[in-house]
Structure 1
Amino acid sequence: MSDISVRALGAEDWEQYRSMRLTALRESPEAFVAKLADEESEPEAFWRARMERSTRLLAERDGEALGIASVGEVGEDHEGHAQLFGLFVRPEARGTGVAAALVRAGARVATEQGRTQLYYWVGTDNGRAVAFASSFGFRPTGTRRPMRVVSEDDGEEEIAMTLPLSGDRGGMPDF
Structure 2
Amino acid sequence: MSEIRVRVLDEDEWPTYRDVRLRALRESPEAFVASAEEEASFDDEVWRSRMERSRRLLAEDDGEVVGVVSVGTGHRTSIPGAGELFGLWVDPPRRGTGVARKLMEEAAAVGRDVGLRQLVYWVGTDNGRAVAFASSFGFRPTDDRRPMRIHGVDEDGAESEELMMVYPLGDHGGVPTSL
Unaligned runs of 5+ in 1: none
**Separation in structure 1 between the aligned mates of residue 17 and residue 129 of structure 2, nearest angstrom:** 26
Deviation of 1:153 (Å)? 8.4
**Separation in structure 2 between the aligned mates of residue 146 and residue 165 of structure 1, nearest angstrom:** 27
**Separation in structure 1 between the aligned mates of residue 176 and residue 111 of structure 2, nearest angstrom:** 17
Identity %: 55
Give 1:33's aligned residue: 33
Deviation of 1:126 (Å)? 2.4
Give 1:172's aligned residue: 176
Aligned-pair Cα RMSD in Å: 2.1
What amino acid does structure 1 have at the position aligned with 2:131?
V
Deviation of 1:162 (Å)? 0.4
Task: Report the TM-score, using the length of structure 2 for normalisation.
Answer: 0.87
**Separation in structure 1 between the aligned mates of residue 36 and residue 140 of structure 2, nearest angstrom:** 32
Equivalent positions of 1:78-97 (< 5 A) are: 78-97=79-98
Are the aligned partners of 2:140 and 2:167 in contact in 1 as well (CA < 8 Å)?
Answer: yes
Give 1:116's aligned residue: 117
What amino acid does structure 1 have at the position aligned with 2:163?
I
Give 2:5's aligned residue: 5
Are the aligned partners of 1:56 and 1:69 in contact in 2 as well (CA < 8 Å)?
Answer: yes
Q: Deviations over 1:38-93 (max 9, x none)?
A: 21122221111111010000000111111110000254631210111001111122
Equivalent positions of 1:29-108 (< 5 A) are: 29-72=29-72, 73=74, 75=76, 77-108=78-109
Indicate whether 1:147 and 2:148 are aligned.
yes
**What stretches of structure 1 move > 4 A for 4+ residues in a row?**
none
Unaligned runs of 5+ in 2: none
Indicate whether 1:156 and 2:157 are aligned.
no
Are the aligned partners of 2:142 and 2:165 in contact in 1 as well (CA < 8 Å)?
Answer: yes
**Separation in structure 1 between the aligned mates of residue 42 and residue 30 of structure 2, nearest angstrom:** 20
Task: Report the TM-score, using the length of structure 1 for normalisation.
Answer: 0.89
What amino acid does structure 1 have at the position aligned with 2:176?
M
Bigger shift: residues 81-90 or 25-34: 25-34
Cα distance 1:10–1:160, how it changes in 2: closer, same or farther (>3 A)? Answer: same
